[in-house]
Structure 1
Amino acid sequence: MKYVKVFLFSSILFGVAMGLLFTLLGEDGVSSGIVAGLFFGLFMTVVLGITDFVSGKKLGGKGSKGVHQQDDLSLHVGIEDAFERCKQSLTLLKDVEIKEENKQEGSLVAHTGATWKTFGEVVNIQLREEDFTVTHIHIESRPLAKQTLIDYGKNYENVKTIRDSLEPKANTELSSS
């Protein structure tokens, strides 16, 4: 479905722009714009689709990953130690800034800067104490721009980086939605 959205978005925008240009040049703008838009949309869908699929394969798995990634794990440490470990793990992400930090609620929210893959991501970590020696951690990474359709595995990479830094004492299962 995301590739249909990419096709429609790119072909409509490009088609309208080319239609206006051809109209200003005195040619048949509507039909030229439609044809140009369809070809450009098809081209962009193929190029972006292949790039997204290859990026997903390089990260491991079956190819393309969703842009909203999450992971749950348990650390065999108290909540205060787990909170500090999670805060430290965020520093492993490139160009990260912690926006919210609430030890009492067990919540960390960080933003990453723009890269060629995305305009930035929002990383949210929620901690819940199961008992004094076990802390449940929920990690979530999603694009900063909600209309992002393809992130070339960047959010998967963020969650995996955090999980891998915490993993020596964790039981994990990564999922996308």
Structure 2
Amino acid sequence: MYEHNLSIEGAEVTYEDYEDGVIRAKTGVNLRTFGDQIILLVQKADEETTSVHIQSKPAIPTTIVDYGKNIKNVKTITTYLKPHI
């Protein structure tokens, strides 16, 4: 398993498949949201390049306002990955 220091408050990894390059996590319910679903899709583009697709969305699909929480999740992950490029 990969050791990391990335932290999104209340997030917990729920699924990891290194062979298919999929990592799923969820955050818990708080005063503003019913939680979020975070999905990372990691694909090898070539011998020197890896592509990472980051998706964060409300756990409840009918959520209209997330108070910027999901963009914050994506920015947190992107900021963590940037120095490793």
Partner Cα separation in structure 2 for residue 168 and residue 117 of structure 1: 31
Displaced runs of 4 or more, over 6 A: none
Cα root mean square deviation, aligned: 1.8
The structure with more helix, counted as a fraction of residues: 1
Partner Cα separation in structure 2 for residue 149 and residue 140 of structure 1: 17
What is the letter of the counterpart of residue 165 of structure 1?
Y
- Percent same amino acid among aligned pairs? 33
Q: TM (normalized to structure 1)?
A: 0.45
1:60-107, CA deviations, whole angstroms, 9 ceiling, x for partnerless residues? Answer: xxxxxxxxxxxxxxxxxxxxxxx947xx36x41111111110000000
Partner Cα separation in structure 2 for residue 136 and residue 98 of structure 1: 20
Conservation of the 8 A alpha-carbon contact between 1:98 and 1:110: yes
What is the letter of the counterpart of residue 100 of structure 1?
Y
Partner Cα separation in structure 2 for residue 125 and residue 112 of structure 1: 14
Q: Which has the higher contact order (CA 8 A, sep 6+)?
A: 1
Unmatched segments (≥5 aa) in structure 1: 1-82, 171-177
Aligned-pair CA distance for 1:157: 0.5
Aligned-pair CA distance for 1:168: 1.8
- Hey, what does 1:104 align to over in structure 2? 19
Unmatched segments (≥5 aa) in structure 2: none
The structure with more strand, counted as a fraction of residues: 2
Conservation of the 8 A alpha-carbon contact between 1:141 and 1:158: yes
- Hey, what does 2:42 align to over in structure 1? 127
Conservation of the 8 A alpha-carbon contact between 1:120 and 1:144: yes
Q: Quick one: which of 30, 51, 54 aligns to 1:136?
A: 51
- Paired residue total: 85
